[in-house]
Amino acid sequence: MLRHSLLTASVLCCAAGAALPLSARADDTPPWTAPGPASYPPKKPLGKFDAPSPYAPQAPGVNAADIPSGPPSPPSEATPAVEQISAHPAREDWPVYGHDTQATRYSPLNQITPENVSQLKRAFVYHTGSKPGPGQINKWAAETTPIKVGDGLYMCSALNDIMKLDPATGKEIWRHNSGVKYDSIPYTAACKGVTYYTASTVPEGQPCHNRIVVGTLDMRLIEVDAADGKLCEGFGTHGQVNLMKGMGSSVPGFVAMTVPPPIVNGAVVVSHEVLDGQRRWAPSGVIRGYDAETGRFLWAWDVNRPDDHGEPAEGDHYSRGTPNSWAALTGDNELGLVYVPTGNSAADYYSSMRSPEENKISSSVVAIDVKTGSPRWVFQTVHKDVWDYDIGSQATLFEFPGKDGPIPALFMPTKRGQTFVLDRRTGKPILPVEERPAPQESDVPGEVRSPTQPWSVGMPRLGVADLKETDMWGMSPIDQLYCRVKFRRAHYDGEFTPPRIGQPTIEFPGYNGGSDWGSVAYDPQTGILVANWNVTPMYDQLVTRKKADQIGLMPIDSPHFTPAAGGAEGNGAQADTPYGITVAPFWNQYTGMMCNKPPYGYITAIDMHTQKVIWQHPLGSARANGPWGFPTHLPLTIGTPNNGGSTITAGGLIFLGATTDNLIHAFDLKSGKELWNDVLPGGGQANTMTYEYKGKQYVAIMAGGHHFMMTPVSDELVVYALPDSK
Amino acid sequence: MNSVQQTGKKPGLPVLCLAVLIILLGLPLVIMGVQLAALGGSFYYVLFGAAIIAAGGLMLFGSVNGAFLYLVAWLVTIPWSLWEAGLDGWGLLPRLLGPTIIAILVALTIPALRGTSAAAVSSRGGHA
């Protein structure tokens, strides 16, 4: 009798063994073969979950600006480039997303110090004008970091409008309206930043000598003149390139660009996110190079067409369902490489339909030669990922302090909290990586897991031990007990527990990290690495197609799709596979509190000379969080989930928003002590930056909020400086 | 409290409310505690839940032993919490905060319950 409680009813149950056979194909094609051209036009009306053929013409709005594409292009070489300012940033500038080509997020400015940081005041606030309108679902999380070059602060709004601001007053000098529509928003309306480019063929003083480059949510590459914001006529078609060319059928919002594309030796390298969890044959995750000067196509890296670097033939498309890369890329002009952090093949939680080529490069960092589009090396951080451990972080380049002198290296932070340190010439680990046995047991027919997974044992782990029943939490023994029951109901063999059909599983670390898109900051002067990270488990369960249908899980390109039932980063239809997926935070859904005990977020400083933790503290207070979503107003440092990265300054400070308490924080680099904070008008889920203008140092953060982090949305860029001395 | 002494037999409204509250808090502990134990988890919750339901029941009938039973259950919770969570403040919070607040309220009812218990004993004695 006691078994018939609320709990039982609240847990999705589905009969194990009710799974469909993997493939109903009569022929001998392997399960990772995407539908061929014979599938179009369709012979019979499409079923509820049937894929519209990738060969079907793109729906209206997919090429949002109706940019003419022309015939398919063969590979070509970039216009010889001049050195970009991001290679050697002026002391007072922040000319690229991660401060410099290396993406260190370290600024040599030192006017603001631990002694005077408490006097910081708002210098100005700038409104981008982009936030949800009436009747629009909140999908906003601007995540923007402005760049600063000379007399301009350049940034984009969440919907990709481009602005130049006066760095001292925030006054808008020009604005380019990009015209991105609400329908084009994928999982999130984000524009992490813009790229500054100095042309090699246009002399100084002519229009479009210096340019601002933006990749948009509706898949356009835009170049405008940095001086006046006007489209650069010499780039693409009147300043724009259609990035949906060669992508096959799609719908608005399925594919989007949210990161600033790096420019490496004259090549703009374009990556895009593909909405998670929709269908196995989602649009391709292809990485492409375009000529920064003219917008001409240079090359494509298409995983399942490894030897073909040209655009697909007329009527054909880049290979479907391949891993996409949504993290910011890092360029390396000296080695002629771009470091691409990859995600999973489409349908994150089911791996039997992935090609061997995809399995080699998913959840990896891939170094692509920017001349040819061929990978030079690959380092994989998760083998056959079914946990959505796609890499959200940007790689940070640094000189590893080796015994026999510096080694060209990179940090690859991961959602797992494993930080890999690789030789960027070869991709070989500099610090030891161990292959350790991983759980294998699963009830999903045909699924085979990798016997081992890689652990970066030479670096401190940005994570905590596997969960135990006694780690469950609540406000009282009752809600704690609820979570203990939920813990015991799940199958859990520690990290890498494979997803199941008959029972929920715990995914820990969760898909918010460890390290996520905020990435890490590195001070090359002191050799200190600063990382903020999450302790937020997820609760996953595969569901049969029938069950997925019952709970309304439909792919975005289905006429039956409703945005409310599930989009990316949560429940997903995973159409074309036998199973849908349900994913939620491992929380008490009645109180809205996580099931594991705090802290949920940390900040860590690591000395790279010794690879030892210098200090580590919980990050973020309980002031804006509490049961049932009520703010407690308590200044207790509980350690909150966090998204957004830090800035290190030569003044000895760390500036960081990220936490769900809606504060911007300043920490002492030496001790980690919080020296200052200020309440932002919205969630500070964006990377901070700093710059100097007319002798004054400023610190900027986009307080755009984040829908998934449930922090308030605003359209305000908030900029701080010390008061003028009298 | 005066009213308790005046009627001499029944506990006052505050004590009754507390007793009912304790029983209501005990029910989910027992229900989910059985599930947890059946799933191979801790037996503590079902035992604690049963103990405080009994304690609440006794208090409802005016027995001071109910209050003592609750306090014993609470006292046992302290070493159990330390054993499970160590000296981790966040870990101790759900285990101890609520039960301790109730324990303070229960302790405050002891004088009143002593009165009703004595009355109950003497009236029973009178009938014998």
Which range (A59-68, A310-319, B45-54, B67-76) has the least confidence? Answer: A59-68
CA distance A27 to B111: 84
Q: Does residue B126 lie within any of the structural domains?
A: no
CA distance A562 to chain B (A): 36
How high is the mean pLDDT of chain A?
93
Question: Which tens digit of pLDDT belongs to each residue from A488-543?
Answer: 999 999 999 999 999 999 999 999 989 999 999 999 999 999 999 999 999 999 99
Show residues of chain B in contact with A599, CB under 8 Å. Answer: 90
Interchain CB contact of A11 with B (< 8 Å): no
Is B60 part of any domain?
yes
Q: Where are the alpha helices (DSSP H) in A71-184?
A: none
Query: Are residues A489 and B95, on separate chains, in Cβ contact within 8 Å?
Result: no
Strand bridging mode A653-656 / A220-225: unpaired
Residue B83 lies in a domain: yes
B84 touches chain A (CB under 8 A): yes
Q: Look at chain B and report how many structural domains it folds into.
A: 1
Substitution target in B25, B36, B74, B81 with the highest count of A β-carbons within 10 Å is: B36
Residue recorded with tokens 């691409």? A340
**In degrees rounded to 5, what are phi and psi of residue A522?**
-135, 130
The runs of H, that is alpha helices, within A217-352 are: none
Q: Is B86 on the interface with A (CB under 8 A)?
A: no
- Does B8 fall in a domain? no
Residue B36 CA to its chain's centroid (Å): 22
pLDDT at A20: 38
Q: Rank A312-316, A509-513, A714-718 by mean pLDDT and report only the highest.
A: A714-718
Q: Does residue B7 lie within any of the structural domains?
A: no
Please name the residue that has the structure tokens 């660009």: A257
The mean of the pLDDT values for chain B is: 88
Q: What is the DSSP letter of A237?
A: B
Please tell me which residue of chain A has the smallest CA distance to B86.
A470
The widest CA-to-CA distance across chain B, in whole angstroms, is: 55
Answer whether B32 touches A (CB < 8 Å): yes
Residue A58's alpha-carbon distances to A16, A35, A283, A512, in angstroms, are 38, 16, 11, 32
pLDDT confidence of residue A384: 97
CA distances in angstroms from A105 to A242, A361, A395, A647, listed in the order given: 31, 27, 11, 5
Percent of chain A with pLDDT over 70: 95
Tell whether B66 lies on the interface with A, counting CB pairs under 8 A. no
Of the ranges A57-61, A297-301, A496-500, A680-684, which one carries the lowest mean pLDDT score?
A57-61
| Nearest chain B residue to A599, by CA | B90
pLDDT for residue A6 is more than 80: no
Shortest distance between the Cα of B60 and any Cα of chain A, in A, equals: 22
Interface contact B26, partner A, CB < 8 A: no
Question: Per-residue pLDDT tens for A370-403?
Answer: 999 999 999 999 999 999 999 999 999 999 998 8
In this predicted structure, the answer to whether residue B125 has a pLDDT above a threshold of 50 is: no
In the block, residue with structure tokens 């505050």 = B14
pLDDT band of B119, cuts 50, 70, 90: low
Instruction: Test B94 with A5 for CB contact under 8 angstroms.
Output: no
| B6 domain residue, yes or no | no
- pLDDT bin (cut points 50, 70, 90) of residue A130 is very high
pLDDT tens digit string along A567-596? Answer: 555 789 999 999 999 999 999 999 999 999
Q: What are phi and psi of A402, to 5 degrees?
A: -85, 170
Residue B3 lies in a domain: no
User: How many Cα atoms are found within 13 Å in the side-chain-facing hemisphere of A102?
Assistant: 19
d(CA A475, CA A172): 48
Q: Tokens in use for B9?
A: 């037999």
Select from A322, A328, A362 the least CA-distant residue to A342: A362
pLDDT-above-90 percentage for chain A:
85
Mean pLDDT of A143-162: 98
Any CB–CB contact under 8 A between B97 and chain A?
Answer: yes
In this prediction the ipTM stands at 0.90
**Which whole number is the average pLDDT over A659-680?**
97
Residue B63 Cα distances to B51, B116, B120, B122, angstroms: 15, 7, 8, 13
Residue B4 domain-assigned?
A: no
Q: What is the pLDDT of residue A440?
A: 96
**What is residue A559's predicted lDDT score, i.e. its pLDDT?**
79
Nearest CA in chain A to B83: A470
Classify A197 as helix, strand or coil. strand
pLDDT at A69: 85
B79 interfacial to chain A (CB closer than 8 Å): no
- Looking at residue B54, its pLDDT comes to 98
- What integer pLDDT is reported at residue A565 of this predicted model? 53
Distance from CA of A2 to the nearest CA of B (A): 6
- The answer to whether the beta carbons of residues A383 and A439 sit under 8 Å apart is no
How close A674 gets to chain B, by Cα (Å)?
Answer: 21
Chain A residues with CB inside 8 Å of B94's CB?
473-477, 479-480
Find, among A665, A699, A663, A698, the residue nearest to A683 by Cα.
Answer: A663
pLDDT confidence of residue A563: 67
User: How is residue A461 written in tokens?
Assistant: 């782990």
What is the phi/psi pair of residue A151, to 5°?
A: -100, 20
Across the interface, do B94 and A598 touch by the CB < 8 Å criterion?
no
The pLDDT value given to residue B87: 96
User: Torsions phi, psi of A614, nearest 5?
Assistant: -85, -45
The residue among A295, A231, A218 whose CA lies nearest residue A63 is: A218
- Calculate mean pLDDT across residues B102-124: 81
> CB A476 to CB B36 under 8 A?
no
Q: How confident is the model at residue B9 (pLDDT cuts 50, 70, 90)?
A: low
Residue that wins the pLDDT comparison between A167 and A17? A167
Residue A328 has pLDDT above 80, yes or no: yes
Give residues 444 to 483 of A whose Cβ lies within 8 Å of B: 469-471, 473-482
Say how many CB pairs under 8 Å bridge A and B.
71
Look up tokens 């935070």; give the residue.
A585
pLDDT interval class at A12 (50, 70, 90): very low
Whole-angstrom Cα distance, residue A223 to residue A65?
14
Chain A contact present for B37, CB below 8 A: no
Chain B residues in contact with A489 by the CB 8 A cut-off are 39
Q: What are phi and psi of B78, to 5 degrees?
A: -65, -55
* Band (B120; pLDDT cuts 50, 70, 90): low
Closest partner residue to A488 among B25, B40, B85, by Cβ? B40
- CB nearest to B29's CB, from A3, A477, A488: A477
Q: How far is CA A661 from CA A178, A566, A608, A683, A702, in A?
A: 32, 27, 30, 7, 15
For A538-568, how does the pLDDT look when each residue is reduced to its tens digit (9 = 90+)? 999 999 999 998 988 989 988 778 766 555 5
Q: Do A485 and B98 touch (CB under 8 A)?
A: no
pLDDT of residue A38: 81
Question: Domain limits at B105?
Answer: 13-119
Catalytic residues of A, which ones? 388
> What is the nearest CA distance from A646 to chain B, expressed in angstroms?
27
Interface test with A, best of B35, B70, B83 (most A CBs within 10 A): B35
Kindly list the distances between the CA atom of residue A220 and the CA atoms of A35, A195, A228, A554, A639, in Å, as whole numbers in the listed order.
27, 14, 20, 27, 39
> What residue in B sits closest to A478 (Cα-Cα)?
B29
Contacts B35 to A, Cβ<8 Å: 2-3, 5, 7, 485
